[in-house]
Amino acid sequence: MDFETIAFVASRSPAAQEALVRLKEMYRHVDADDADVVIVLGGDGFMLETLHRRMANPKPIYGMNRGTVGFLLNKYSEDNLLERLKEANIAVIRPLKMEAITDAGVTQHGYAINEVSLLRQTRQAANIRVKIDGKVKIEKMICDGVLVSTPAGSTAYNLSAHGPIIPIGSRSLALTPISVFRPRWRGAILPHTAKVTFEVLDHEKRPASAVADMMEVRNVEEVHITEATEKQLQLVFDTGHNLEDRIFAEQFPKTEDY
């Protein structure tokens, strides 16, 4: 890929700020709105924040890990950055769109790169009706919550809730219950075109919150989730270190797990 102009952005961590200073000294830096590619220095949380901030004016984003896990980022290296960018691969991510309707009749919208989740707000389990494309699939699910995950987010909250890992190119979504009591159900893999609706039953007694990545809407009655076909985000990865391979590898045990 030919990226002639670069913008560097960094989280507030000391490691990211130190890297920002060094890289700006080594490479020409421009404003993010004028750049061909945005270089993100931080962890997965800061990468998600940057992707959300750039959603209105999307740019290819290349992350370098100055955080902890760094699943969505490349390894940190200050050397040969322009050459690495030229040989890099791009993964296309399509976020989810959430429409949450509260018990006060207020409708709020949000986007999720990882997942949209519905979570109980109190000590009592939530009662949730699940619809797919307008048809009831589960009349009442007693659980702590339920989520819909993108392929990129399938190794995050979805995985910890025992949901399936989904390859990036599959154009599928994961529908995963969270600590479900009844019925005994482990979730489903849906086509990316599916419209998912969650209805909160007994919402006055058993309130629930809807969360789209970092945005939370409390006391919801109904949540609609679809793929945001009008949005398309590009993550840039070093050759041999692409997101597709990493997500595929997460399906198998590591050597240290033996």
For residue 207, count other CB atoms closer than 10 A to its CB: 19
Sites in the chain below the pLDDT cut of 70: 1, 255-258
Q: Quick one: 192 and 238 in the same domain?
A: no
- The pTM score is 0.88
What percent of the chain has pLDDT above 90?
81
CATH number for the domain spanning 238: value is 3.40.50.10330
Same domain, 122 and 223: yes
Identify whether 155 is part of a domain. yes
Instruction: Dump pLDDT digits (tens) for 78-101.
Output: 999 999 999 999 988 999 999 999
| Residues 194-244 pLDDT 10s | 999 999 999 999 999 999 999 999 999 999 999 999 999 999 999 877 777
Task: Let me know whether 88 and 20 are in one domain.
Answer: yes
What's the CA gap between 66 and 64, in Å, rounded?
6
Annotation marks residue 44 as catalytic: yes
The tokens describing 250, both together, are 């997460």
16 close to 48: Cβ distance less than 8 angstroms? no
Domain residue limits at 38? 6-93+232-257
Considering the domain architecture, whether residues 87 and 129 belong to the same structural domain is answered as no
Q: Which of 2, 34, 36, 44 is catalytic?
A: 44
